[in-house]
Each structure stands twice: as structure tokens, then as C-alpha cells.
Amino acid sequence: MNDSLLVSHPERDRRPIRFVAFGLIGILVFGLLTFRLAYLQLSNGPAYAAQAETNRTAKISVPAPRGLIYDRTGKLLVANVATFAVKITPADLPFSRRDDVASRLGTLLGMDPSDIIATLDSAPGSRFDQVRIAQDVPEATARVVSESGDDLPGVAVVVETRREYPDGALLAHILGYTGSIDGGTLEKLSASGYLADDTIGKAGIEATFESTLRGTYGVELMERDATGRDVQVLQTVQDAVPGASLTLTVDQTIQKEATAALKWGMKAAGLKRGVFIVMNPQTGEVLAMVSLPSYDNNLFAKGISNKDFQALLADKNKPLTNHAVQAHYPPGSTYKLVAGTGALQDHKITAATKVRTKGYLLLGPTRFYDWNKRGFGLCNLNCGFGHSSDTYFFQLAGMLGADRLAYWGKMYGFGKPTGIDLPGEAAGIVPSNQWKIDALGQPMFAGEVYQSGIGQGYDVVTPIQLINAYAALANGGKLYRPQLVHDIIGPDGAVVRSFQPELIRKLPVSAKTLVAMRLAARSTVTLRHTYNLVDMPVKVAGKSGTAEFGTRDSKGRLPYSSWFVGWVGKNPYKADFAKADSQLIFLAFAYDSRTKGNAGTEIAKAFLQLHFHIKKDYLNRDLLHRGNFYQSN
């Protein structure tokens, strides 16, 4: 080695060609790099600059505070509370770790891991949208979750507001609730600014007044780093505008009275479902609306567990259904209002016309029984309506015929949703010849017309339709749309929309006819068809009803469901029902009552005692014992 170290090689072959080749390769390399760089920076520079900007910034929605809801006296019915929510970004959660993360999170949050997986799988947004897993997480738990970043990839704790309903089940059917938006709804509403992890009103007023309550979400330009963490707000593109607040027509105190009365009656009579509605017939304002069984809407606002939700769905008495609005039932004798009004207005009878009532009417070989096996003899309107004689109204229905009967039913608002501010309202059925041809292929039989006349045919009504029809009678013939929202109040406190009664129609009925029907309704009370209601200090006119339907008992008998709809005058202690000045009408509906007495009437009396602070107890508890059917309409 040393030998060659010292040798200089003046004759060395330096291979200039290889030096030149190396140099050319170098030039080629730097030329290629420069060319590519020029392509990226010079010809495509602006496009990449824009991409770098979008890379860095994101438009963030800033949720607007949702509007509040008050009762008519100003009591707060819905509040917004700040809660810790746990959310998962599916894109950041490796699939292989899903089960592991779900079970860890399940343990921390006290949730079923399968619920977490199900929530993730049913999330509507993209994999990059956060999915709300739990709300109302206690602060200590939230802290643990947010500190276990490595063990819980993709999991984040977010502070958000949720709805709190201080009265829970008391107003659940009116207020409804908000919940996580589902995929189909999101698709329709994402253009209106709804986010994948957004909440939306899903039932009740929360749903019907969603756009009013929601407000307008703000938009902020947020600087983000590569991992999607927010660095800082660069610009507020649009300020969030809080939602408007609502003042309801509902009076929380009356709602409580109605609920207490209905609960008492349901317990005393062993009822499965019940409805109580209170309205002002002069305006269509709903003062109270109770549907039992109810549910705690806070469960939904907090994010209901699958188990709780399945339990509510499985309940035969459908606590999630607002039976006052979303379900229809045979009206029974309360429907005699239609036949009576129609027969008077179509001049088939006058209030004084005497009609022979019997134990039963014969129609061919078929007997149509009165509830009273002896009948009531010759009966005028007060007698027929007051005693609720079935044979009287069979004959009136027969005089009118199916189509006129249906016409008057429709005039009173039956067969069509009333338009109350609640979602999912049922329409009910008013059977006419055309209806039966459409539904069953043939016109109404005469016997079916009879049954319709006493509300036990094909006709079904919602409780809200029924009270609204009687409200039109009580107010002198004006059929109003029932309303639940009195005022809409802007975020600045100014009234955006104040209450206006909305007339559906003026009944094509003379004042005389209506006076006759109101007096007939009073005779229901004075003839003691409603027992001791007449003895109460408040003077009531109204109508009871019983209908057989539902599931037969062991002896093959159908359960009875009973109604009472009644009103008091402007001065409730004065019995002047020729006047149409009532400001309080109420309806009780008792489903599946196997009692001697009319549970509906007893519940109405219980309400009156509470509402008018009547000290003496007029309730006939003994009549409500289950077991014996009370044969009355």
C-alpha cells in the first residue's frame, strides 16, 4: 500500500469522459429538480397557495343559544344547561381499536359498549364528523376521558348546551324534546346549517317551532393545525343569532291541576290511558293538555339509552304518543252533538219536537238497543241529549242520512287535523258514503248510519278535535285552530309575533240552533245523567260519552272508554248557557274503564274541584271501582 501512496502519476488516465458524464448527470439532476420546482411554484403556485389556505383554516359553526319556552304566566319551562359531552371522530379511531375503546368508554361512562358501537354505526355525517356518544357526563368522568387521549383515540370531551325540562313528564307531550339529528334529516337540512352532531327538536313544540327556537348559527374562520386542533379564531364571518323564545298558551298551574285530576281518576278506576285538555273556547288557546302515561323528556335531552328507549316503545299504552292529538278513538255519545246540530239546522226537528224513544229500534231483523232498556218515552232535544238516548239519535241520524251526518261532522272539524302546533296529529274519520266506498267498496248501511249518529260507528276522533268542536258550540259557532304558542319573543325581548286567534270556519249554523244545543248540554247535567255534577257550585254544561272498543276481557266483553267534555260560563257560578261567553272548556278521556260510573265525568269533577278550589268533595269513588260495567252512554 505504502508503495503506491508515494507514486505520482503524471501519466494517469484521468478519464475526462467520466468527469464530463458525472457533470452532465449533475446538470441533469439539478435541471430536473428546478423544472419540477418551477412547475409546482410558478405555474401551479396560486392553486397550491389556495389549498394551503384551506388546509390551514376551517369554517366553524358556532351554535346559537336555543330559544327558551315559558308558560303563559312567564314560568320557565325549558332551560339550556351546559354539559360535558363525549364525542368520537370515527376517522381518528382505528377500526381495530373500536371494540377496545368502546368497552373502555363504556366502563367510564357507565354505558353499554354495544350502544356506543351502534351510535357510531348509525352516525349520519362523514367519518370526519364528531359523533355524540354521551351527554351530561359528570365533570370528574369528563376529565378522566379527556386525559386518556392515548387509550381513547378519536375520543374528545366537548362542552355543549342541552335542554333541561324542569317539569319533565308534566309537559313532555307539549314541549317534546331535542335529540341528535338523524341521517335523513341531516341530508335535507345540512344546507340550512345543520351539523352532523347537531341536535334538533324531535317532538312537541321543540319540533314544530324548531326553526324559531334554533336561531342562526354563526360562522367563524378557525385556524387549525394538521391534527385538526383549533389554534385561533381568525375572523367571525357571521355572528350567531340566538333563537327566539316562546310563551305558551299553556298555564303550568292548570296543567298541574289537570294532571292531578287525571292521575287520581286513572288510579281510582284502574285506567290505562287518559287525556285531559283545557281550552279557552273564545280563542282556541290550549290552557292544559295532559296525556298519560307520559315520559320524562329529559331522558331524550340527555341522550336516551337504547334500553330505556326500547322500554318506552314496548309499553302497550304508548307513553311516547300524545293521545290528545296523535291518536283517535270512537267518540261515543259525545258525537251526538253532530247529529243534534245537523237535525236542527237541516230542519228535521226543532228543539221541541217529540221523538219516541224505545228500548230498541228495529231495522229489518236487527235490533238497535238504547242504553236504557226501557227507553225514555216521547223525548224532545233536552230529553234526548240530556239522557243521551240512543234511539233518539238513531232516528235523528236516520233523518239526516250518512252524507248530511258526515257533512255536519266535518263542519265541526272532525276527519281532519285541527292544525294544532304539534307534530303527528291524527285526522280521525268521518264516515260518509264516499268514504265507505273508497275504504270498503260499498255505501253506508242504514244501521251504520245509526251507529255513526251515536259515535260508535266508523267515526273516530282525536280528543283535541272533540274539545275543539264543543268549543265552537260554547263560543257561538266559531271553529278556531287550537294553539299552544301565545307569543314569539325575539332574542332582544321584543314580541315578534303576538297571539291571534285563527278561525278555521264559522259554523253554518244559526244562533238559535247553537242556543238549543247548549241548553241541551246543560240538561245533561241538570237531568243528573252526570250524577251529582249538578250539585257542584260551578255550573257546567257538557256531554258524557262511552264507547266500547279495545281488547275483550275474559268474558268476551269489550272495555268501555268514557268521555266527558264540558264548559262553564264566563261567570262559572251562573248557569246561563244561552250565552256563548264561556272562557273555560275541558275534556276528560278515560281509556279502558271497566267501571260502574263514567270515569270521564269523575275526572272532570276532580279537575273542577282543584281548579275552582271547591272544598267539598263531590267525587263518587265507589262508582269507579273496577269490575262492573256501568250501562250508560
Partner 1 sequence: MRVMRAEPSRFADVTSRSVGAAWRSYDLQLTTYAGLLGAIGLVMAYTNSVEAGQSLLAGGTTFSRALMWSALAIVAFTIMTALDYRWLKTLAWPIYGVNLGLLVLTLVIGDGVGGSARWVNVGPFTFQFSELAKILMITVLAAYLGNREGHLDSLSAILGACLLMAPTILLVMMQPDLGSSLVLASILAGMLFMSGASLRWLLAMAAGVLVAIPIAWTYVLRDYQQNRILSFLNPAADALGSRWQVTQSQIAIGAGGFLGTGLTNGTQSRGDFLPVQESDFVFAVLAQELGFIGAVVVFLLFSALIWRILSCAWRSRDPFGTLFGAGLASMLLFQVFVNVGMVIGILPVTGIPLPFISHGGASLVSIAIGLGVIQSVNIRQHRAEW
Minimal distance in Å, beta carbon 47 to partner 1? 7
Minimal distance in Å, beta carbon 153 to partner 1? 14
Rg from Cα positions in the chain: 35
Minimal distance in Å, beta carbon 230 to partner 1? 11
> What string of H, E and C letters represents the secondary structure of 173-233?
HHHCEEEECCHHHHHHHHHHCCCCCCEEEEEHHHHHCHHHHHCECEEEEEEECCCCCEEEE
Task: Note if the bond before 365 is cis, omega within 30 degrees.
Answer: no
Give the Å distances, CA to CA, from 54 to 59, 70, 225, 238, 260.
Answer: 9, 43, 11, 18, 59
How many Cα atoms are found within 13 Å in the side-chain-facing hemisphere of 197?
A: 27
> Toward partner 1, which CB reaches closer, 18 or 613?
18
Beta strands 377-379 and 355-357, pairing class:
antiparallel
Task: Provide CB contacts within 8 A for 68, sequence distance 6+.
Answer: 76, 78, 79, 80, 245, 246
Minimal distance in Å, beta carbon 116 to partner 1? 24
> Toward partner 1, which CB reaches closer, 21 or 79?
21
> Toward partner 1, which CB reaches closer, 153 or 490?
153
Residues lying near partner 1 in the complex (CB under 8 A): 1-10, 12-15, 18-19, 21-23, 25-27, 29-30, 32-34, 36-38, 40-42, 44-49, 51-53, 55-56, 223-227, 231
Length of the chain as a residue count: 633
> Toward partner 1, which CB reaches closer, 48 or 573?
48
How many degrees, rounded to 5, is the angle at CA 343 between CA 341 and CA 348? 150
> Toward partner 1, which CB reaches closer, 35 or 573?
35
The grid coordinates of residue 256 equal 298541574
> Toward partner 1, which CB reaches closer, 7 or 82?
7
The grid coordinates of residue 353 equal 219536537
Minimal distance in Å, beta carbon 154 to partner 1? 14
Say whether 99 sits in a helix, a strand or coil.
Answer: helix
Minimal distance in Å, beta carbon 155 to partner 1? 19
Residue 100 contacts residue 154 (beta carbons within 8 Å): no
Say whether 29 sits in a helix, a strand or coil.
Answer: helix
Residue in 56, 139, 129 with CA at minimum distance from that of residue 93: 129
Minimal distance in Å, beta carbon 128 to partner 1? 11
> Toward partner 1, which CB reaches closer, 127 or 506?
127
Indicate which residues carry an active-site annotation.
333
